Structure 1
Amino acid sequence: MSRINYWRFERPLKLWSLSIMLLLSVFILLNSPTSSAHQFSTAHAKLEPNGENQYQGYLALSLQDIQQALSIDPNNDGKLLWQEVINSMPNIEGYLTNNLTIWHKPLNPQDTAVTCQINWSKAPKLSELYGETLLQIPLTAVCPEQEAAVDQLSLQYSAFFDILNDHKLLLTWSFNEGETYFIVDNAKQITSLPFVTSSVLDTIHFYLYQGVIHIWFGLDHVLFVFALILPFAWLRFRQGRYSGTKSLALKDLLVLITSFTLAHSITLTLTALNVLSIPSQWAEIGIAISVAFTAINIITHWVKRLGIITFLFGLLHGMGFAGALSELGLSKTYKISSIVAFNLGVEIGQVAIIFLLYPLLTRLRKTQVLQYRLVPTLAVLIAIMGGYWIVERL
C-alpha cells in the first residue's frame, strides 16, 4: 500500500495557483489596516452634574483627527506646535459646538425638549488618557429651567464621522458616584444619560460586549487564531503535533485554545492592574511576529508541539487586549468586574470564531486537493500579512 508523504505537497502548485496567491497577497497589502490592528480614531468624553441644570466634563481628542478635520498646522510642516493648537482653539471650539448637542429630554413626549448651552471657557491641555496623548478640552453645559419634568439628559455627537469611518466616542457619564459607559459610533446616534446610578450588571454588559467586538475587529488576533487551528485541516496533525493520523479531534483543538486563553488572561489582568507594563509598540510587534511565525510553521513544522509556543504568544496577545481595555478605561466603581467581563467577552468572541471555522476545517480534511492547495495558500497569505505588520510596527 502506497503511503502519502505528508511532509511535502503531493504535487507542485501550478502556475495559476501561484498567480492567485500573488494577486491575493497584493490585494491584502493594499487593503490592509494601519500598523496597529487596535488603534482606531477614538475620542473620549466625560460628563457629570454640577449643580442644578448644569453639567461639566471634557472632550479629549486626537490632534491627528483635529488636523485632518480642520488643518490646524498652518505651515503644513508636519510638526504641530502647542502655540498653533492654541491659535486654532476658536476654530476647534466652533467645530465642536456645531457637532455636539446636549438637551433635557422631558418625561412627557409631548413637551418640548430644551437645548443646553455649551461653553468652552477653560483652557485646554494635553493629557495622557487611556494610553495616548490627547487634547483635553473642558466643557460646561447650562440648561435653561423648565416647568416640564425632565426624564434624562440626551446627547448627540457628530464630529469627525464624515471624514473618519472608524471614528467613535467613548463617553463616561458620572452620576451619584457611579459611572455608566456609552459608545457613540455614528453621527445620528442619540445617547440617553439616565439620572440613576449604574449597576454592576450595566458595567458587565458594557465590557462584555466590548470584549467580543474587540476580537472580532482585531484582525491580527483573528488571523492568529485561524493560523493556530488551520493545521487541524491536515491529516497529519493530532494531539497538538504533526503525526500523520486521519482523525480530527475537537478536544485537541480546544487544548491549544485553552493554552492561548490562559496565557492572555494572565497578561491582560496584570497589565490592566498596572502590575505588568511594557511599551505597547513592542507588544504589537510581538503579536505580528506570532501571526507570521504560526502561519509559516504550518508549512515548515519548525515546532511540532504547539502548546508551549501558543502559551508564550498568548502572553503577548494579552498585552494587546489590555491596550484596548486601557483605551476604554476601567470602571472606578467596578474595576475587577470590568476586567473580568472584558476578558470573558474576548473568550466568547474567540469561541465564536473557532466554531464558525471548524466546519471549514472538517471540509478541507475530507478533500485532499483542497488540503494540499488551499491550506498552504492560506498559510502563506497569513504569513505575508504578519510580515507586513512587523515592518509597519517597527
Structure 2
Amino acid sequence: MKYLVILWLCLYSSIVTAHKASDSYLTLNVQDDATVLGRWDIALRDLDLLLNLDENQDRQLTWGEVLQQNQAIEQLARSNLLLQRGEPCQTFQFQPLAIDSHVDGQYAVLQFQTQCASAGDWQLKYQLLANIDQTHRGILQWQQNYQVLTPANTWQTLGIATTKTQTFSQFWQQGVIHIWLGYDHILFLISLLLPVVLIRQQQGWRAVTDWRVAMIDATWIVTAFTVAHSITLVLAAQQWLYLPSRWVESVIALSVMIAALHNLWPIWHRYRWLMAFVFGLIHGFGFASVLADIQVEGQISLTALLGFNVGVETGQLAIVLLLIPILYRFRESSKYQSLILKGGSGVILLIACLWFVERVFAIQFG
C-alpha cells in the first residue's frame, strides 16, 4: 500500500506543472528543380522558451514583443534547420514574420526560400528543442509526403516516397506517445477506473469478489471512452467539425474534476460508462490537436489518421492493463477506500482544478 501512496505523490509532483507536448509544422516544396519554398510554423510558447520573448514577464505575449525578436527568431530557424542536396543549400531568405492560430495556440509563421544544387540526394537536419524537449515532434510535409521528425533522428533523407506502412507506423508511435503524455486524458480514465474493483451499496463500498466483475465494468468504461473520442478525433482531424482549443482544453480539465468528484460523492456509479462517453467526445478534440494542422489529402491522410488512433488505443490499453491488476490486488485493503479511492481522487481533483483555472484564465502556475 505504501508504494501506491508514493505513486500518488509522484503523480502530483510531476503532473501539476505539466505542459502540452510540443509540435512544429514544416512544409517544403521544390520549384524548378532547385528552388525550395518553405513554411515553418513554430509555437510561440516554444519560441518564448528558447528566446524569452515575454520581455516584461507578464505571461502575455504581444505582437510587439514577438517582432522585437524577429532577427533572433530567423537566426534560430537557420541554426536548427539545415537543408542540403549534396551540399548545403543557400541561406534561407525569410518573408516578413506572420502569426497563425493553430488548435493549441498561436504559432509564428516563417516563410522562406532557398536555392539548392540541381542534383543529388535531399537531406534535412532538424534539431529544434533537441537539447530541451525530447518529446518535441516536427511534422514535415515534403512533396505531398508526410514524415515525423524527432530529436532522436535529426537527419532525414527526403525524396523517397513514404509507404502506407511507414506512415501508419510513424503516426502509431505518435498516438502512443500522445496518450502517455496526455496527463489530463490519463487522469480522467484513472478516475473512472478507481471504483471498478468496488461495488456500491447503501452502506458504502465493498470489494468485488470476482475479478470478472471488475473487468466487465472497466470494459464498458474504456469502450465508451474509445468510441466517443474516436468519433470526434476523426471529425476534428478531417476538419469537418471545429471547437476552440481553449474551450476544449478547459472542458477536458472540467471532466477530470467531475470524474474525481464523483468518486468522493457517487451519484451515477452504474453509469460511469455514460460519463466516459459524453466527455470522451470532448477528449477526442484534444487528441486531434496533433493532426488538425496537417493538411493531408487522399489515402495517406486516412492511413495517418488510422495509425494515430490505433496508437492512442494501444497506449490507453497498456495503461488499463497495468492499472487494473494493481487496483484488484489492493481492493480489500483497509486503506484502499480512504487512501486510494478518496485520497487519490482528491489529488486528481486538485490537479484538475489547477488545470481548469490555468486554461480558462490563460495563466500558468508552474
Q: TM-score, normalised by structure 1?
A: 0.77
Q: Which residue of 2 aligns with 1:95?
A: 76
Please give the secondary structure, in 2, of the residue aligned with 1:117. coil
Shift of 1:129: 4.5
The number of aligned residues is: 350
Return the match for 2:309 from 332, 343, 350.
343
- Work out the CA distance in 1 between the residues paired with 2:331 and 2:354: 29
1:21-60 superposed matches below 5 A: 24=9, 28=12, 32-34=16-18, 39-60=20-41
1:216 has 2:180 as partner? yes
Aligned to 1:11: none
What residue in structure 1 maps to residue 44 of structure 2?
A: 63
SS of equivalent to 2:91: strand
Name structure 2 gaps, 5 residues minimum.
Answer: 361-366
Judge conservation of contact 2:93–2:114 (CA < 8 Å) in 1: no
Task: Could you tell me which runs of 5 or more consecutive residues in structure 1 were left unpaired when the two chains were aligned.
Answer: 1-15, 105-112
Query: Aligned residue for 1:4?
Result: none
After superposition, the Cα gap between the structure-2 partners of 1:237 and 1:54, relative to the gap in structure 1 and judged at 3 Å, is: farther
RMSD over aligned Cα atoms? 3.2
Q: Does 1:302 align with 2:260?
A: no
Give the superposition deviation at 1:60. 1.8
2:212 matches 1:228: no
- Secondary structure at the residue paired with 1:331? coil
For residues 117-132 of structure 1, what are the structure 2 equivalents within 5 Å?
A: 117-129=90-102, 132=105
Q: Deviations over 1:54-104 (max 9, x none)?
A: 422122223343344335567777776656655543333233223322223
Structure-2 change in CA distance of 1:122 and 1:364 (3 Å): same
Write the mapping of 1:77-92 to structure 2, written as runs, cut at 5 A.
Answer: 82=63, 85-86=66-67, 88-92=69-73
Contact 2:238 / 2:292 at 8 angstroms: preserved in 1?
no
Separation in structure 1 between the aligned mates of residue 319 and residue 286 of structure 2, nearest angstrom:
18
2:59 and 2:333 map into 1 onto residues whose CA distance is 54
Counterpart AA for 1:282? W
Paired position in structure 1 for 2:157: 193
Q: Is the 8 A contact 2:224 2:276 kept in 1?
A: yes
For residue 282 of structure 1, the aligned residue among 247, 250, 263 is 247
Give the Å deviation of 1:169: 4.4
Structure 1 residue 353 and structure 2 residue 338: aligned?
no
TM-score normalised by length of structure 2: 0.82
- 1:330 and 1:222, CA in 2 relative to 1: closer, same or farther beyond 3 A? farther
Letter in 2 for 1:157: Y
1:255 is aligned to 2:220? yes
- The equivalent residue for 1:325 is 291
Deviation at 1:131, TM superposition (A): 5.2
CA distance in 1 between partners of 2:341 and 2:63 (Å): 52
AA aligned opposite 1:57: G
Report the AA paired with residue 95 of structure 1: L
SS in 2 for 1:338: helix
**Structure 1 residues 357 and 144, CA gap change in structure 2 (3 angstroms):** same
1:246: which partner in 2? 209
Q: Distance in 1 between matches of 2:236 and 2:28?
A: 27
